[in-house]
Structure 1
C-alpha cells in the first residue's frame, strides 16, 4: 500500500483527495503547510508527494526545492494557475509531474500511479542489498524480508553512513561529523541511542547484532556479509 503525503491548505480539496486515494488502496497523510510538510518528509518514509503550489507559508516551489536537497521522492505538483511557465518552473526544480486545477481525480490517480511505477523501477535498480536487508537510497526506505522498516530521517541517514562505509569501523566523532546537518541530534551519546533503535528494527536479535557491530572503545561497523 503506497504511502502518500498531500500538502494542501484547501481542506475540502485535501479531504476529497484523501478519501478518493484511500479508496484506491493508498495510505494518505495530509498537511496544510509547507514547513510542517517538510518536517514530516524528513522524519517519515513516503512513496510520493502531492504538493499544492499555493500554500499559506512557503509556496510549493520552495517546498519542492528543499525536498530535492535530501530526497528523490516522486512529486506531483498541483496549481490553480494555468500559466505554462509555472509548469516549466515546477519541472525544472525537480517535480515529476504537474497538474492544473480543477482536475479529474481519475487523471490525478493515473499520473500518480505512473510516477510511482517509474520511480519503483529506478529504486529497485539502485537498491543496496545485504542478505535479507535492502536499502533504497533514493526512496529513503529500508526493507527487511520485503517488509518496510520504520526509521526516522535521522536514523536512515545514520544507517546510510554506516552502509556507505561497510566493513570500515566508524567512530562516534566520524558519525557525528557525517551527520552535521542534524546538529540537534548529534551530541554526547545520542549516536548510541539511535544505533540501538536501528538495531531494534533491522536485527533478528538486537542483543546479539549481526548487521551493526560494536567495536569496543572505537565505534561501529556495518558488516558486509549478512544472512
Structure 2
C-alpha cells in the first residue's frame, strides 16, 4: 500500500486523518510544519503528500512549491480557506487537488485514490521525442539539443498533454478539465495565458513543434516526427 506524508500543525487533524488512512492500510508519516516535512521526504520515499496551508515556519503554498521542485508525487492541499483566489494560489504553487476544511475523511480517501491512479497510470510511458526535442514526464523537463528547460507544473502538463496528442484540437474547456481538474473555478483565459507563456519560451528556440490556435475551437500541437 502507498506511503502518505501528512503535514498539519493541528494535532486533531493529524490524529483523525492518520487513523482513517491507517485503517485503509496506508503507511502514514506525520509532520507539524513544512521544514519537518522536507526532512521526512529526504529520508522516506512517499507516494503522496497531504499539506495544510496555514502552518508555522513554512506555509503550505511554499512547501508545495518545494515538493514540486524536488519530488514527483501528487499533493493535496487542506485548508479552511475557500475563496477562489486561495484556490488559484494553491494550484499555481503546484498542488494537484484542494480540499476545504471541514471535510469528510471518505472524500479525502476518494481523492487520494484518484490521484494515485493518475500517477500510477503514467507507468513507463511519458517520454516524447520530436526532432531534437524531448518532453519527459518523469523528470518534468523539456530538452532541446543541449538545453534543458524546467517548466512550472501546469505549463509542463499542458504542453505534455498537447504533445501526446499531436494534431488533435482541444477546446479550452477540455484542457481546463484535463490539466486543472473539474473543481477549478477560474476561467478559460487561464489556458490562453499558459499557451502564451509556452510560445514565448519555445517559438524562437525550436521548430520541432508549434502550438497552433484553431480559431473558434482551441489549440493543438504540430510536431516533427523523430
Q: Structure 1: which 5+ residue stretches go unaligned?
A: 128-135, 139-227
SS at match of 1:55: coil
Work out the CA distance in 1 between the residues paired with 2:111 and 2:43.
26
The aligned residue for residue 18 of structure 1 is: 18
Does residue 46 (structure 1) correspond to residue 46 (structure 2)? The answer is yes
SS at match of 1:16: helix
Query: Number of paired residues?
Result: 131
Map 1:162-173 → 2, pairs under 5 A: none
Work out the CA distance in 2 between the residues paired with 1:123 and 1:54.
34
Instruction: Name segments (4+ residues, structure 1) moved above 2 Å.
Output: 123-127
The aligned residue for residue 92 of structure 2 is: 92
Work out the CA distance in 2 between the residues paired with 1:87 and 1:80.
11
SS at match of 2:69: coil
Work out the CA distance in 1 between the residues paired with 2:76 and 2:7.
11
What TM-score does the superposition give when structure 2 sets the normalisation length? 0.55
What per-residue deviation string (whole Å, max 9, x for no partner) do you get for residues 120-166 of structure 1?
11244259xxxxxxxx956xxxxxxxxxxxxxxxxxxxxxxxxxxxx
Shift of 1:106: 0.5
Shift of 1:88: 1.1
The aligned residue for residue 143 of structure 1 is: none
Work out the CA distance in 2 between the residues paired with 1:42 and 1:75.
16
Work out the CA distance in 1 between the residues paired with 2:78 and 2:42.
21
Query: Any conservation in 1 of the 2:77–2:99 contact (CA below 8 Å)?
Result: yes
Work out the CA distance in 2 between the residues paired with 1:118 and 1:44.
22
Query: Any conservation in 1 of the 2:76–2:98 contact (CA below 8 Å)?
Result: yes
What TM-score does the superposition give when structure 1 sets the normalisation length? 0.55
Shift of 1:78: 0.4
SS at match of 1:125: coil
Q: Structure 2: which 5+ residue stretches go unaligned?
A: 128-136, 140-226
Give the CA RMSD over aligned residues. 1.9
Work out the CA distance in 1 between the residues paired with 2:105 and 2:123.
26
What per-residue deviation string (whole Å, max 9, x for no partner) do you get for residues 159-211 of structure 1?
xxxxxxxxxxxxxxxxxxxxxxxxxxxxxxxxxxxxxxxxxxxxxxxxxxxxx
